């Protein structure tokens, strides 16, 4: 039977519950356990797909087309397991299912209530994840104890332990232990209050993870242990780490995985930890020799979480090349005004990420043109590919006024358009190409060389496509369509320019599949090209040595 860890948070939001849960996942995986993860989100939206990235950050897409919370991205990057749409459940989904059952008459006319119907639905969703091939399910409960919306979830996870047995459940509570500079002390009171709140819902934590800027004295752990009724060794400090990928090592040094495995009786010699792979990764993270500056031309640049997976994929690519990647956030709307200046020239590479709507699109087209004409490495993702196609159509293929129909419904050349099957759909929900699609790459093309494969699968989330009607016009003007959707052979998935150092775009979102120890080939290619540009500009230290 699978074991279940429930991760709750108190005191404040944004303490890094997702990263704590993911790090525990990595530690358990490094002990040879098969781990899966899930996020329960107390908000009412049925999925995060329709939520504003300004408010909620990126929508993470799973292979099976689930539009999920960005924490699932952390889970996948840390435990290196592909999750699915069922790995995320919101209050909205839970209520929708219960209401649908009520409408079908499944409850035989009974009064439908939060307890037991909503809580049963939550428990079912969690239980279903504990399949035969999973040893541990880590469930993160979104929000903070004390929130109104979280109550049914806490009640469900409380009941869960009764049903599956004490030894199969571990409650982990994450809190903040602030340091008051004025008195020079760490304070435990917020933790005590938060645990009291959790207990008032019938949950006694087994482990308390305390976020803290600096390490604190053992006496403080003893105090928390006494007042919150957990063993001292189950009070774990999580001090701020230089890189998120260091957190598993920080938590391991505090004995987190030991405690959890002991609780679950999974502490036999066969579950000895092997962190060597992760330590090697950290060596790479901490031994950067070069620096590249990559400009991200986006619309949501004031909230970099909106591009979380893109940022992580760039970092991973940096790890692979012993390079630190410095992100320069560029508001797409401002690009046209920048063309005369040195800001774009100073970049070693450019990413034009995905997005929706008209705002900033002209700036993305201008960035594409500038990168193309000035030999700046440039990677376009989804909407980024649309911008690059429009740039090429207007400025090279002579299709003046070309555009994406998303931005200009009456453009004379809709080089990016809805496909026939989508034209009659009036509703926006459920009309996107979502999830994994396989593409066939042209043998010998740049993308095939980067992937070292000709059949690749990437995740998608978009409505508009390269219009097949204009493909030959663009190709005659020198654009190479180097990958197409494998089933219909028609939808363009990859474009490139052979003579350019790196001007490549994809209709997919490859950022979702990048892993810290397995950088995505397209991002790795971009960073490599960016490093070349950087070193051509400033001779590296060792080159200077040779000169001197
Ligand atoms: N807005 C574009 C579309 O719907 C691109 C979407 C995206 O970048 N994810 O096709």
What's the pLDDT tens digit per position in 131-143?
Answer: 999 999 999 999 9
Q: In what order do the strands lie in the sheet with 403-404?
A: 403-404, 414-417, 465-466
For the cut 80, the answer to whether the pLDDT of residue 223 exceeds it is yes
Residue 464 to residues 63, 224, 386, 450, Cα–Cα distance (Å): 19, 55, 9, 26
- For residues 206-237, one letter each, b for 16 or more C-beta atoms within 10 angstroms of the residue's C-beta and e for the rest, the string is bbbbbbbeeebeeebbebbbeebebeeebbbb
Contacts of 430 (CB under 8 A, 6+ apart): none
- For residues 129-160, one letter each, b for 16 or more C-beta atoms within 10 angstroms of the residue's C-beta and e for the rest, the string is bbeeebbbbbbbbbbbbeeeebebbbbbbbbb
Query: Which ligand 1 atom is at minimum distance from the Cα of 356?
Result: 1
DSSP H stretches of helix in 270-307: 276-285
Are 73 and 512 contacting, i.e. CB atoms less than 8 angstroms apart?
Answer: yes
Q: How far apart are CA 3 and CA 87, in angstroms?
A: 16
Are 34 and 135 contacting, i.e. CB atoms less than 8 angstroms apart?
Answer: yes
Q: How far apart are CA 213 and CA 457, in angstroms?
A: 41
At 546, the pLDDT band (50, 70, 90 cuts) reads: low
Identify the three-state secondary structure at position 485: strand
Query: Which ligand 1 atom is at minimum distance from the Cα of 461?
Result: 9
Question: Tens of pLDDT along 68-98?
Answer: 999 999 999 999 999 999 999 999 999 999 9
Which residue is closest in CA terms to ligand 1's atom 8? 354
Query: Which ligand 1 atom is at minimum distance from the Cα of 406?
Result: 1
Residue at token pair 């000035």: 374
At 548, the pLDDT band (50, 70, 90 cuts) reads: very low
**pLDDT at site 489:** 82
Question: Tens of pLDDT along 206-216?
Answer: 999 999 988 88
**Interval between CA 385 and ligand 1 midpoint (Å):** 9
Name the residue with higher pLDDT: 432 or 481: 481
Indicate the range of 130-134, 322-326, 418-422 predicted with least confidence.
Answer: 418-422
**Interval between CA 464 and ligand 1 midpoint (Å):** 6
pTM for this prediction: 0.93
**pLDDT at site 53:** 74
Beta-bridge mates of residue 41 = 90
Q: How far apart are CA 66 and CA 60, in angstroms?
A: 8
**Interval between CA 354 and ligand 1 midpoint (Å):** 6
Q: Which residues line ligand 1 (CB under 6 A)?
A: 354-356, 382-383, 406, 461-464
Determine the residue of 309, 310, 382 to mutate for testing ligand 1's pocket, defined as the one with the most ligand atoms within 8 A of the Cβ atom: 382
**Interval between CA 134 and ligand 1 midpoint (Å):** 35
For the cut 90, the answer to whether the pLDDT of residue 426 exceeds it is no
What are the residue numbers of the active site? 382, 509, 511
Q: How far apart are CA 364 and CA 351, in angstroms?
A: 10
**Interval between CA 340 and ligand 1 midpoint (Å):** 29
Mean pLDDT on 433-459: 97
Are 1 and 9 contacting, i.e. CB atoms less than 8 angstroms apart?
Answer: no
For the cut 60, the answer to whether the pLDDT of residue 427 exceeds it is no
Q: What letter does residue 131 receive in the DSSP assignment? A: -
Are 434 and 461 contacting, i.e. CB atoms less than 8 angstroms apart?
Answer: yes
Query: Which ligand 1 atom is at minimum distance from the Cα of 384?
Result: 8
Beta-bridge mates of residue 496 = 480, 504
**pLDDT at site 430:** 55
**pLDDT at site 542:** 52
Query: Which ligand 1 atom is at minimum distance from the Cα of 382?
Result: 8
**Interval between CA 64 and ligand 1 midpoint (Å):** 18
Which residue is closest in CA terms to ligand 1's atom 5? 383
**pLDDT at site 21:** 97
**Interval between CA 462 and ligand 1 midpoint (Å):** 4
Which residue is closest in CA terms to ligand 1's atom 6? 462
Determine the residue of 67, 358, 383, 388 to mutate for testing ligand 1's pocket, defined as the one with the most ligand atoms within 8 A of the Cβ atom: 383
Residue 424 to residues 49, 419, 420, Cα–Cα distance (Å): 22, 10, 8
Q: What letter does residue 515 receive in the DSSP assignment? A: B
Residue at token pair 């005191």: 11
Task: Quote the tokens at residue 102.
Answer: 């009520």
Mean pLDDT on 440-460: 97
For the cut 60, the answer to whether the pLDDT of residue 17 exceeds it is yes
**pLDDT at site 421:** 62
Residue 534 to residues 348, 421, 537, Cα–Cα distance (Å): 6, 45, 5
Q: How far apart are CA 336 and CA 330, in angstroms?
A: 11
Dihedrals phi, psi of 160, to nearest 5 degrees: -55, -40
Determine the residue of 356, 381, 406, 437 to mutate for testing ligand 1's pocket, defined as the one with the most ligand atoms within 8 A of the Cβ atom: 356
Q: How far apart are CA 234 and CA 134, in angstroms?
A: 24
**Interval between CA 434 and ligand 1 midpoint (Å):** 11
**pLDDT at site 540:** 53
Determine the residue of 458, 463, 507 to mutate for testing ligand 1's pocket, defined as the one with the most ligand atoms within 8 A of the Cβ atom: 463
Q: How far apart are CA 366 and CA 335, in angstroms?
A: 7
Mean pLDDT on 451-472: 96
Query: Which ligand 1 atom is at minimum distance from the Cα of 464?
Result: 10
Q: How far apart are CA 316 and CA 345, in angstroms?
A: 24
**pLDDT at site 52:** 79
**Interval between CA 381 and ligand 1 midpoint (Å):** 9
As a whole number, the mean pLDDT across the chain is 93
**Interval between CA 356 and ligand 1 midpoint (Å):** 5
**Interval between CA 292 and ligand 1 midpoint (Å):** 28
Q: How far apart are CA 102 and CA 104, in angstroms?
A: 5
Query: Which ligand 1 atom is at minimum distance from the Cα of 432?
Result: 4
Determine the residue of 388, 461, 492 to mutate for testing ligand 1's pocket, defined as the one with the most ligand atoms within 8 A of the Cβ atom: 461
**pLDDT at site 143:** 94
At 422, the pLDDT band (50, 70, 90 cuts) reads: low
Which residue is closest in CA terms to ligand 1's atom 1? 356
For the cut 70, the answer to whether the pLDDT of residue 423 exceeds it is no
Indicate the range of 126-130, 234-238, 362-366, 541-545 predicted with least confidence.
Answer: 541-545
Mean pLDDT on 463-491: 93
């Amino acid at each position: 039977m699978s074991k279940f860890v429930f991760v709750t948070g108190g005191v404040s939001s944004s303490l890094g519950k997702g990263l704590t849960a993911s790090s525990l996942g990595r530690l358990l995986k490094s002990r040879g356990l098969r781990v899966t993860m899930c996020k329960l989100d107390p908000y009412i939206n049925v999925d995060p797909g329709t939520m504003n990235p300004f408010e909620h950050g990126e929508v993470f897409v799973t292979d099976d087309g689930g539009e999920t919370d960005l924490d699932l991205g952390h889970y996948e990057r840390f435990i290196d397991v592909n999750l699915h749409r069922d790995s995320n459940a919101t209050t909205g989904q839970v209520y929708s299912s219960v209401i649908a059952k009520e409408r079908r008459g499944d409850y035989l006319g009974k009064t439908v209530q939060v307890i037991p119907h909503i809580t049963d639905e939550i428990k079912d969703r969690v239980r279903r994840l504990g399949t035969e091939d999973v040893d541990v399910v880590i469930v993160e409960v979104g929000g903070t104890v004390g929130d109104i919306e979280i109550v049914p979830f806490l009640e469900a996870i409380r009941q869960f332990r009764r049903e599956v047995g004490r030894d199969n459940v571990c409650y982990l509570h994450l809190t903040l232990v602030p340091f008051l500079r004025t008195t020079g002390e760490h304070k435990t009171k917020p933790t005590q209050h938060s645990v009291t709140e959790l207990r008032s819902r019938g949950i006694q934590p087994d482990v308390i993870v305390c976020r803290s800027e600096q390490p604190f004295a053992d006496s403080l752990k003893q105090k928390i242990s006494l007042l919150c009724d957990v063993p001292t060794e189950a009070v774990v400090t999580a001090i701020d780490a230089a890189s998120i990928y260091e957190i598993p090592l920080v938590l391991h040094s505090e004995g987190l995985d030991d405690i959890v495995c002991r609780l679950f009786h999974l502490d036999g010699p066969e579950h000895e930890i092997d962190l060597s792979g992760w330590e090697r990764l950290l060596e790479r993270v901490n031994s950067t020799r070069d620096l590249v500056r990559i400009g991200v031309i986006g619309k949501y640049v004031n909230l970099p979480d909106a591009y979380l997976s893109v940022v992580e994929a760039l970092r991973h690519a940096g790890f692979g090349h012993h390079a630190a990647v410095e992100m320069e956030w560029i508001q797409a709307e401002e690009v046209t005004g920048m063309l005369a200046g040195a800001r774009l020239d100073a970049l070693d590479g450019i990413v034009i990420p995905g997005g929706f709507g008209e705002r900033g699109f002209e700036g993305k087209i201008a960035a594409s043109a500038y990168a193309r004409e000035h030999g700046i490495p440039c990677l376009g993702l989804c909407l980024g590919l649309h911008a690059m196609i429009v740039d090429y159509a207007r400025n090279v293929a002579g299709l003046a006024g070309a555009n994406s129909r998303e931005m200009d419904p009456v453009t004379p050349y809709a080089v990016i358009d809805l496909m026939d099957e989508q034209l009659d759909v009036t509703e926006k929900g459920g009309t996107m190409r979502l999830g994994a699609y396989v593409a066939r790459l042209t043998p010998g093309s740049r993308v095939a060389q980067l992937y070292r494969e000709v059949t690749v699968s990437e995740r998608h989330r978009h409505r508009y496509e390269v219009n097949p009607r204009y493909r030959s016009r663009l190709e005659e003007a020198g654009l190479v369509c180097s990958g197409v959707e494998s089933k219909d052979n028609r939808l363009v998935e990859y474009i490139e320019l052979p003579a350019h150092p790196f001007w490549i775009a994809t209709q997919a979102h490859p950022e979702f599949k990048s892993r810290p120890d397995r950088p995505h080939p397209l991002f790795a290619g971009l960073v490599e090209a960016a490093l070349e540009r950087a070193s051509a500009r400033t001779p590296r230290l060792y080159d200077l040595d040779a000169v001197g």
